[in-house]
Structures are given as C-alpha cells and as structure tokens.
Structure 1
Amino acid sequence: MERVKQLAAHFTGPSQGRAALERKSPDDVVITMAIRSPLCKAKKGGFRDARTDELMLEMYKQSIAHSNIDPSLVGDICVGTVLTPDAMYAARSAAIAAGYPDTVPVQVINRFCSSGLMAVTTIANQIRSGQIEIGLAVGVESMSENPDKGGPAQSELISVNPAACDCKERMGWTSENVASDFNITRAEQDEFAATSFQRAEHAQKSRYFVKEIVPFTVFQKDPSTGERKRVVVTEDDGIRPGTTLEGLMKIKSAFPQWGNGTTTGGNASQITDGAAAILLMSRRKAEELGLKILAKHHTTAVAGVPPRIMGVGPVYAIPMALKNSGISSNEVDLYEINEAFASQCVYTIKKLEIPRDKV
C-alpha cells in the first residue's frame, strides 16, 4: 500500500516548496560518502610532482577505505576530468590498482569546469533510472601536469564563426568581458575576494575541513637530487592567511590588455591540483546497508551562454535548478558558486539578488 501511495504521488505531479524537497522517499538518490584531497597550488604545492593517474589512484584507495561497503557493489564509476593529454586509460587502470574488481566499469566525462559535478549527475541519473544501485563519482585534475594553454587551433570551417572562435580564448579574457559588460568594478571584485580568503582562513583554522579531507600519499621530487620520495599531504596549501582588502587592491592587473584590466591574481582562483569522490545510492539501499546518509541529490540544471562571457552560466542555471526543485530563491540556505573569477561571482550575486551572507 505504501508503494501505491508513492506512485500515486509521483503521477499527480511534484509537490512544491522546501518541505516537499526535504521529504524522504526510498527512491531518493542520496550521498553516503563525500571526501576530497587537500587542494594544492599547481607547480608549487604538495601535488606539484604528482601525476594525474597517481592522484586518481589515491582517490580510489581512499574511497574504498571510507565507503564502508564492499567495492564490488559499485555498479559504475564516473570520473570527471578536463585537461588530460591523452585518452583516460588511467581512469580504469587506477581503479583496478586501487582494489576495485574488474567487474566494476568506469567511464569518463568532460564538461570543463563542471566535470566533477557532471560525474555526480551521471551517477545520480543512473541510480534514479534503475540502471545501477550504487555508483561512485570522482573529480580529478592536475594543473601541474596538464596546464591550461587555451583552446587548440581551429579549422577555418569553424573559426569563421565569431562565437565559435571565442571558444578557444583564455578564461581571463572572459572574466574581463563579464566585468566590462556588466559594470563589475575592481573594488567589488577585491571586496568579494577578501571575504572569500578570510572565510577560508577561518574555516581552516577552525578545522571545518577535517571531516572531508583525506590524507594523500604522493611523490615529491627532492630539489637537490631529483629523487622522488613519498610524502603525505594533509591540508590545503593555497589559503592565504592575513589577506585584506587593502592588500588585494595593491595587486597589478593580470590582463591589462583586455577589458578594464580589473582581474588580478588576488581576485581570481589559484591554479589547483586535487581530487574528490562521493558515493551515491538510493535511500532504500543506504538503509539496507546501514550507512549514514549525508545528503540527497535532487536535480542538476545546465545552461549554455555565449563563450565570451562563459562565467555567467550560474545566472541562468540557478533559476532552472530552483524551478526543477519547486522552491524559491529565498528558501535556499546556502549557495556555492564555483566560478574562477570574482567578476563572475559578483555578477551572479547581483543579478539574482542573492544575499551575500548566503554565498
């Protein structure tokens, strides 16, 4: 009878509001494990000498250690990654080396900056459709091994289209376009960045990240001998203690040749090496296995925007996600806007009128 009630509710359409969103159902797609590596400065930080496949191997090992399930129960693994120089053979070989049996398949997805999020969505949709019961979503990137060099050369058949030609331009250019097109000032960007650094410093000192960061054992080269030695990295190394608005205002423009030159190394994200993984399954399966449920995945929304202002995607995707979820903006407690430049975050906040204390 309970199952009949659930089906009846499903076919009469989605309920609206936060209470409906928080209602529990055996068919919910839930997260039972969420872990990440430390996030390290590319070329300079703890993972500067670690290869992409080594980061992946360690992420897989940690996922097995923290999942509290037999790895053979995983129905599929989806790895989100962007800047790899060749086909991602390592996605499967590293999984096997880490201890996943060869019965567990692996796929790779690339939607640039949101590749890790799309890995989550892919696994969630597979569970929701009944294709698998349990899945692992992974995100990994080594900017030390595979630095962003901009888009590749285009065929003349493509580059004759101005919008298509914009796809190969650098991200700094898109940040300056957003700032100039939407009147986002240098002062607004620096203010946002200062708050972000200060919050990150407070979070690290208060040990907020302890439950999500897992130690990573990687190789580092001895600068004097070149020998690769094993080291254990346990903390983010890119947080800048003592950052102030006054200090950020003194930093020179990173791209004075574009727009108003308001983007700097202080109000843009660092180039980072790191990895993360989450385990997803139905609520029914999680309860059957006696696992702690951390969160529920409800929906994902994606939106296309002109390549020259690619960072404004959240302005369009957030309302779509809210509509899909049947809730209003003011019912959300916390927004996390994962854009690389303060210009893009500030524009999103202003355009959608999101209270700053919710970001």
Structure 2
Amino acid sequence: MDIPTDTPPTPAPADDARPTTTEQKRTARGATRPGDRIFLGLSRGSGIALLAIMAAVAAFLAYRSSVALADNTGNFFTTFEWDPAGISSDGKPVFGIAVLVFGTIVSSIIALVIAVPVAIGIALFISHYAPRQLATPIAFVIDLLAAVPSIVYGLWGAIVVAPNLTGLYSWLDDYFGWTGIFEYEGGAPRSLMTVGILLAIMILPIITNVSREVFLQVPKMHEEAAIALGATRWEVIRMSVLPFGRSGIISASMLGLGRALGETIAVATVLSPAFLIKASVLDYGGGTFAQNIASKFSEADEYGRDALIASGLVLFVITLLVNGAARMIIARRKEYSGANA
C-alpha cells in the first residue's frame, strides 16, 4: 500500500484571525507593550506641551503688542523713529520697526555670507582631508568656541575687531565704494558690517559642527564607488558628499541664522545705534530687534515695554518664518540627501 508523500496545503487563516491594519500599525510602533505605551504618551505629551508653550508666548506677545499699537501715532512698519514716551511729539507715542527690520536682516545676511562657506570648508577639511591626529584637536577647539559667552565675543569685538577694521573698510571704499554699499566716510567702524563680521565668527562653530557631523555620515559605499570610477578627492566630495549633506548644510545654516537674528549683547557692544537706514553697510547707524530691546528695556516705562514687546513679536514671527522656510527647502530636497539610499 502506497503512503502519500505530498503534504497537504496549510489552510488559510480565517479573515477574523488576520491582524487588522490598526493592529499592524500599533505593533510596528511598538505600542502593545506597557513601557512603549508610556514612552509614546510622554513623547506625545512633550510635543503637545511645546506647542502649547509656543502658543502661550505668541498670545502674550500679541496681547501686549495690541496695547502699544492701539496708541501709536506712527506707522509701526514704516516709521524711522522710536519714541514711545512721546518726548519729541508732545507726549504722543511714535515708534516703528523699519530700521530694526533692515538692520536685523542685513547683519544676518552678512554673517551667513561670510560664515557658511568658511564653515563648510572647515567641516570638509576635518572630515575628509585632515589626518585624525589633526582633525580631533581642531574639532575640539571649534566645540569650545561654540561655548564662549556672547559678552566675551562682544568685548573682543569692541576692543580688538572694530578698531582694526579701518584698513579693510578703506580698501573696500577704494575699490567698491562706487556701488554705494561699501562707501566709507571714516570714523569708528561700528556699523552693520562690523556686526555681521562678529556674528559670522559667533555662528561659525555651530554651522561647522553640524556640517561636519553630516559629512561624516556619508555612506562609504558612495565614496568608494566614485573612487573606483577614477574620481579625484574633490570630485568625490562634489558628487557624493555635498549632495548627501545638502539638507544638513541648510539646517546648519538656519541654526546659525537663528542665533544671528536673536543675538543681543555682542551686537549692542559693537554697534552705534541710530534710527537711520543708509545704503552703505560701512557707515554707523542702524539697529536690530534684540539690540534695541536690550538697550531700551531697563529705562522704558510700562507703555515703552509694550512697544518693545511689539517689536519682539515681529522678531518671533520672522524666526518662525525662517525656520518654516528651511523645513520646506529640506523637504523639497530630501531626495538629494541620500537618506533613502
């Protein structure tokens, strides 16, 4: 008698026994175990708490700003004057942020233009050119520079940097003064250009550290493939490293821009504030939101503080817009980052 050797097929599970989509998602998230559920709840609660705190800050700024703007006799966005006490206008408060917006944006752009190329070059040198014996000390020194307090940078900028920029400003005036942007009339170089140079030095460690860590995450397979095709070291960096780290470089730049926008003490130390907008970035004058708040808050009355809070609300909105724009850029270019490779 022959014994059948074929194994009967395993019956398919009933539809009721199959895991549902919701159960699969919960299993994938690890939310079926008590510890994971607790961690998920804490993480979700932290995110909600952060959003609530930001909403509370925005509501406070908006309320105090509305009190000041209700009595402002000038145009808040176009007035070139800051006089909430009404000393020059018979007790009628007049204040605007035109000069502050200009100074904040111009000084931050100068800082980024100077700092980003230098930071990327340092990060590439540490991650792909320097030997380990040299790269480690350089990275350590850059980490220390990121921890230096703002007041130290401000004092160094006022005592050392600003007095020694006269020669550079004269050179810029000789060769590029015809543009009007680099026209220099002499005097103490406490201008938006000085502020931008100091801010560039301050944000350089942040951009360098983040860019370096991104460059170190480049898959070795990408670099080895480029080398196998006969690429030089620079071609490897251009074809593999920079495309992979593009979104990281943008993120690092936005982190540096965030510090540049909100820097207070260092800017107040090196800048000669004046509510004037000049075409030349080498002339004295100008101001930033943070510097104006820091210099005027202690001597302002309650209404003057509300006016300063109104300017702080604008800085809050600008910071949110900058970070939102950075997230949009990163989301659009994530296919070039190599994250999905």
TM range (shorter): under 0.3
Going by fraction, where is strand more abundant, 1 or 2? 1
Using structure 1 for the length normalisation, give the TM-score: 0.23
Using structure 2 for the length normalisation, give the TM-score: 0.24
Going by fraction, where is helix more abundant, 1 or 2? 2
> Which has the higher relative contact order, 1 or 2, with Cα contacts under 8 A spaced 6 or more apart?
1
Find the structure with the greater CA-based Rg: 2
